Amino acid sequence: MSNPVAKIVDRHLKIWNTRHAAERITGIPLTYAEDVVIGEPAAWFSGFAGIELAIKAVQAQMPGMDLAVTGPIQTTGDMSTYTWALAGKDGNPVVKGRDVITVKHERIISRYVFFDT
């Protein structure tokens, strides 16, 4: 991965797929800005505590599922977008969507989530 945004997205997904809170909490400040904002259709989260809360909620609702990028990462300026899927060990996605992220100083400062319907 020579694309710097791809490396950031890889770190982001690793954090969201990590089941151990201590490992997530260590990686969050390396990947997200302190005042990061996450906008989802049904909820908004902010800051490091907000990220941890969002991850816990997804993992509680869909245990054993992992997020993976499913298409190319497209970048314009400091904004990037990519498609993703949340799937179990069998690889069948239960949810698909698109993220739009803003990156500054190698950290995600905003992430907006769009679910496929």
Q: Are 84 and 69 in contact (CB under 8 A)?
A: yes
pLDDT tens column, 14-24: 999 999 999 99
pLDDT confidence band for 1 (50 / 70 / 90): very low
How wide is the angle at C-alpha 38 spanned by C-alphas 81 and 114, nearest 5°?
50
pTM of the model: 0.92
pLDDT tens column, 72-110: 999 999 999 999 999 998 989 999 999 999 999 999 999
pLDDT tens column, 31-61: 999 999 999 999 999 999 999 999 999 999 9
Helices (H) and strands (E) in the chain, counts: 3, 7
Q: What's the Cα-to-Cα distance from 2 to each of 7, 8, 10, 90, 105, rounded to whole Å?
A: 8, 11, 12, 29, 17
